[in-house]
C-alpha cells in the first residue's frame, strides 16, 4: 500500500485512544453539569457568546495571551508549544492533502509526511509549505528548550517556584521532550537520504554521516511514532489534559456557567483545565510570606483531580483570591475550594432556634448593620454614628444590642445549611423594616448580603455610602495633608470589586500608593477562612503585608474592614484607621439635617 508503513501504527492507535478517552470524559462532565449550568448552555449555545468563546480559545488556549502578559518568556514557551504544534498539524494536513490530491488522505500522512513524500512529485505551494513546516518545528524546539530550562532552573524564567509532578505527568513530559527532537532527527535523516527537507531538516541532514543514515532512518521514525503514542496515551491522565479541557471550559464560561455551591461536572472541567503553570504559587502569601508550599491552588487542583485531597489542603487557605486573580486560565479557585469544604445538608433540620427575635424599627431610611467583627472595633461604630448624624440620616442600628452573624463565616467553613438559617433570620428583620438602604461596615457581611440574601433594598458597604454622602455634599471634610496608604480588604476588593470608592474618599487626604494596590492587594492574614493557619505564621503574613504597606512611611494606614484593622493594629508599625474613622475625624460642617436618602445614592449600588 502506498503511503503506509507499519511504524504509523503506534501513532494511529494512540491517537484513537486519545480521542476516545477525551470525548468520553467530555461527555461524562457535560452530563454531570447541574440544572442551572445546563440551562445556561441551552440558552446561549446559539448566540454571539459562542463566537466570542471561539475568539477567546484562539487567544488563550493557543496563543496564551494571559500568560504572555504576566511573564513574556513563559508565555512564549506555552505559545510556541501549543500554537506551534497546532499549526504544524494544520499545515501538515494541508500539505498532505495537496500532495495526495484528496482531502481524505490517511491521517498519518501529514504527521510522517517527509518519510512518504520522497518521490519528488510536484504539488502546489510545496516550497512555501516545506519552509513553513521547518520554521514551525524550529519555533517548537525553541519553546521546548525553554521548558527544559524551566524544569532545571525555574528562577531563570522569573518564577520562584515550579510545580512537582505526578507519575503520568512525568511519562507525558518525557515523551513530549522526545517528540520534536525525534521528529527533527527522523526528517533530517530522510532529508540526507532523499534531499526532501526544508532549510532546517536539510541542514541538519547534512551533518548526519551518510554511512549511518540508511540504518538510522527507520528506527528514528519508529521512535517518533512511539513517542507520540506514549504522549497520547498518558495525556488524559496527566496535566496535559488541560489542553483539550480548556476549550470546553472557555465555551461554558462564555455561556454563563456558574461554579455553584455543590460539586458538578463544571468543577471537573475546571480541575482538568489547570496547566500547572505554577503562577498561583508565586501569588500566594502562604508561600512567600509564611513559607508553606504544599497547599497552593495548583496542589489543591491536582489533589482534587486525582482524589487525594487532604484536610489540610482543603482548609489551609486564606481564600484571599490572589491566586484566582493571577490564574491565566481564569479558574475560580476559591469557589472550587469552597465546594470541597461544603458539607451535606440535613433536610428538615434547623439551627439557631434560640435567637431572640429582634423587632425591626419602622419608618427609617437606612438600616445600619455593623457586623460581629465591627463590635470588636467600637471606634468604627462611633465614627459611623457620627457620620450618620452629621448627614442627618434617619437610621436604625440593627445589631446594636442583639445581633446575629450574617452567616458568611459559617459558609466559609462549609456549613451551608447553618448559614442559610442565619440568612433567613436576618432577612426577616431587614425586609420587614421596609427601609431604603442597608449599610454595613464589614466587607464579609457586605459580600454575604449581596450574594446570599434576597433583600427588598440595596446594600452598601460604608465606603460606598460615605463616598455618596461626600459627592452629594451632605458631609464635607476639612482639607488635610495627612499622608495615607489604603489597604484593599480582600472581601471588598477582589471579593466585591470596590476599588474606586475608598480612593475617591481618600483624595481628600494625601493619598500615596503602595506596591500592592487594588487586585494585587495583600491579605492581612486575619482571614476567617483559614481555620488551620498557625498564629505564628499568620503574624508573619501580617508583618510582611504591614511592612510592604508602610514602606513609604505614611501617617496613617487606612483600611475598610474591622478584621484587617484588628490585624494591623497589633502589628504596631503605623497608625491604623478604618476609612470611617478618618472621615469622622475630619468632618467639617454638619450639613442639612434629616434629609431622606436621595435616589442617586441608591443607584450607586
Give the binding site for ligand SF4 (CB under 6 A): 274-280, 283-284, 286, 296-298, 301, 317-323, 327, 329, 331, 333-334, 443-444, 489-491, 523-524, 526-527, 561, 563-564
Choose between 308 and 456: whose C-beta lies nearer to other proteins. 308
* Cα–chain center distance at 264: 18
Stretch that binds other proteins, among 24-32, 48-56, 165-173, 335-343 (CB under 8 A): 335-343
Q: How far apart are alpha carbons 101 and 519 in whole angstroms?
A: 55
Task: Assess 572 for contact with other proteins (CB under 8 A).
Answer: no
Q: Which three cell numbers stand for residue 383?
A: 465614627
Decide if 447 contacts 498 (C-beta within 8 A).
Answer: no
Task: Assess 343 for contact with other proteins (CB under 8 A).
Answer: yes
Q: Which three cell numbers stand for residue 180?
A: 520534536
Reduced 3-state DSSP string for 7-52: CHHHHHHHHHHHHHHHHHHHHHHHHCCCHHHHHHHHHHCCCHHHHH
Q: Which three cell numbers stand for residue 413?
A: 467553613
493-496 long-range contacts (CB < 8 A, ≥24 apart) are: 493/518, 493/519, 493/521, 494/320, 494/321, 494/322, 494/324, 494/325, 494/519, 494/521, 495/321, 495/443, 495/447, 496/443, 496/446, 496/447, 496/450, 496/461
280 touches, from other proteins, ligand SF4, none (C-beta below 5 to 8 Å by class): ligand SF4
Task: Assess 447 for contact with other proteins (CB under 8 A).
Answer: no
Q: Which three cell numbers stand for residue 100?
A: 495526495
Q: How far apart are alpha carbons 260 and 262 in whole angstroms?
A: 6
Stretch that binds other proteins, among 63-71, 225-233, 327-335, 523-531 (CB under 8 A): 523-531
Q: How far apart are alpha carbons 333 and 321 in whole angstroms?
A: 8
CB 299 → ligand SF4: shortest distance, Å?
A: 9
Choose between 143 and 414: whose C-beta lies nearer to other proteins. 414
Phi, psi at 437, each rounded to 5°? -155, 145
Choose between 157 and 532: whose C-beta lies nearer to other proteins. 532
CB 377 → other proteins: shortest distance, Å?
A: 9
Task: Assess 263 for contact with other proteins (CB under 8 A).
Answer: yes
296 touches, from other proteins, ligand SF4, none (C-beta below 5 to 8 Å by class): ligand SF4
Among 404, 438, 460, 584, the residue binding other proteins under the rule CB under 8 A is 404
Task: Assess 405 for contact with other proteins (CB under 8 A).
Answer: yes
360-399 footprint of other proteins as x/- string (CB under 8 A):
------------xx-xx-----------------------
Of 379, 515, 370, 513, give the one whose Cα is nearest residue 444. Answer: 370
CB 44 → ligand SF4: shortest distance, Å?
A: 24
Residues touching other proteins, count (CB under 8 A)? 39
Task: Assess 563 for contact with other proteins (CB under 8 A).
Answer: yes
CB 403 → other proteins: shortest distance, Å?
A: 7
Of 89, 129, 132, give the one whose Cα is nearest residue 112. Answer: 89
User: DSSP alpha helices (H): ranges in 433-534?
Assistant: 443-452, 462-471, 500-506
Task: Assess 403 for contact with other proteins (CB under 8 A).
Answer: yes
List residues binding other proteins (CB under 8 A): 262-263, 307, 339-344, 346, 351-352, 354-356, 372-373, 375-376, 402-405, 407, 409-410, 413-415, 418, 422, 526, 528, 531-532, 534-535, 563, 566
Amino acid at each position: 500500500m502506498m503511503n503506509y508503513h507499519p511504524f504509523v501504527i503506534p501513532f494511529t492507535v494512540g491517537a484513537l485512544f486519545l480521542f476516545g478517552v477525551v470525548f468520553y470524559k467530555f461527555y461524562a462532565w457535560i452530563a454531570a453539569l447541574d440544572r442551572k449550568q445546563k440551562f445556561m448552555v441551552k440558552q446561549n449555545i446559539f448566540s454571539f457568546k459562542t463566537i466570542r468563546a471561539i475568539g477567546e480559545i484562539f487567544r488563550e488556549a493557543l496563543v496564551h495571551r494571559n500568560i504572555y502578559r504576566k511573564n513574556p518568556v513563559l508565555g512564549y514557551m506555552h505559545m510556541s508549544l501549543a500554537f506551534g504544534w497546532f499549526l504544524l498539524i494544520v499545515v501538515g494536513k494541508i500539505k498532505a492533502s495537496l500532495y495526495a490530491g484528496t482531502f481524505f488522505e490517511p491521517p498519518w500522512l501529514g504527521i510522517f509526511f517527509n518519510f512518504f513524500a520522497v518521490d519528488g512529485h510536484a504539488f502546489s505551494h510545496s516550497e512555501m509549505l516545506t519552509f513553513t513546516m521547518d520554521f514551525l518545528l524550529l519555533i517548537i524546539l525553541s519553546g521546548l528548550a525553554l521548558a527544559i530550562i524551566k524544569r532545571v532552573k525555574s528562577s531563570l524564567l522569573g518564577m520562584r517556584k515550579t510545580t512537582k509532578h505526578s507519575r503520568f505527568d512525568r511519562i507525558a513530559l518525557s515523551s513530549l521532550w522526545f517528540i520534536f527532537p525525534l521528529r527533527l532527527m527522523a526528517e533530517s535523516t530522510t532529508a540526507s537520504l532523499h534531499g526532501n527537507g526544508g532549510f532546517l531538516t536539510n541542514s541538519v541532514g547534512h551533518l548526519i554521516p551518510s554511512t549511518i543514515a540508511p540504518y538510522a532512518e527507520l528506527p528514528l521514525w519508529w521512535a517518533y511514532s512511539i513517542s507520540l503514542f506514549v504522549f497520547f496515551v498518558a495525556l488524559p491522565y496527566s496535566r496535559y489534559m488541560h489542553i483539550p479541557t480548556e476549550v470546553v471550559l472557555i465555551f461554558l464560561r462564555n455561556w454563563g456557567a456558574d461554579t455553584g455551591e455543590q460539586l458538578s461536572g463544571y468543577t471537573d472541567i475546571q480541575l482538568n483545565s489547570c496547566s500547572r503553570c505554577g503562577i498561583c504559587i508565586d501569588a500566594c502569601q502562604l508561600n512567600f510570606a509564611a513559607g508553606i508550599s504544599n497547599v497552593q491552588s495548583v496542589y489543591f487542583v491536582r489533589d482534587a483531580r486525582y482524589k487525594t485531597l487532604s484536610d489540610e489542603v482543603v482548609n489551609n487557605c486564606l481564600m484571599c483570591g490572589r491566586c484566582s486573580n493571577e490564574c491565566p486560565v481564569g479558574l475560580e479557585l476559591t469557589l472550587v475550594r469552597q465546594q470541597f469544604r461544603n458539607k451535606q445538608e440535613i433536610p428538615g433540620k434547623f439551627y439557631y432556634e434560640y435567637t431572640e427575635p429582634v423587632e425591626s424599627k419602622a419608618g427609617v431610611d437606612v438600616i445600619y448593620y455593623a457586623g460581629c467583627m465591627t463590635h470588636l472595633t467600637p471606634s468604627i461604630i462611633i465614627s459611623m454614628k457620627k457620620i450618620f448624624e452629621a448627614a442627618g440620616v434617619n437610621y436604625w442600628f440593627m445589631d446594636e444590642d442583639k445581633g446575629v452573624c450574617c452567616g458568611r463565616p459559617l459558609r466559609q467553613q462549609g456549613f451551608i445549611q447553618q448559614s442559610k438559617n442565619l440568612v433567613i433570620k436576618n432577612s426577616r428583620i431587614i425586609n420587614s423594616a421596609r427601609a431604603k438602604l442597608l449599610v454595613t461596615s464589614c466587607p464579609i457581611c457586605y459580600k454575604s448580603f449581596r450574594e446570599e440574601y434576597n433583600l427588598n433594598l440595596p446594600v452598601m458597604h460604608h465606603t460606598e455610602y460615605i463616598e455618596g454622602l461626600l459627592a452629594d455634599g451632605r458631609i464635607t471634610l476639612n482639607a488635610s495633608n495627612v499622608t495615607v496608604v489604603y489597604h484593599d480588604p480582600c472581601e471588598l476588593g477582589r471579593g466585591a470589586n470596590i476599588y474606586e470608592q475608598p480612593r475617591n474618599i481618600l483624595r481628600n487626604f494625601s493619598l500615596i500608593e503602595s506596591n500592592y494596590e487594588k487586585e494585587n492587594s495583600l491579605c492581612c492574614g486575619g482571614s476567617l477562612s483559614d481555620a488551620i493557619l498557625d498564629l505564628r505564621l499568620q503574624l508573619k503574613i501580617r508583618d510582611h503585608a504591614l511592612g510592604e504597606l508602610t514602606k513609604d512611611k505614611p501617617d496613617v494606614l487606612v483600611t475598610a474592614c474591622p478584621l484587617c484593622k484588628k490585624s494591623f493594629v497589633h502589628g504596631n508599625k503605623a497608625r491604623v484607621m478604618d476609612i470611617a474613622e478618618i472621615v469622622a475625624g475630619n468632618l467639617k460642617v454638619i450639613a442639612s439635617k434629616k434629609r431622606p436618602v436621595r435616589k442617586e445614592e441608591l443607584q450607586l449600588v
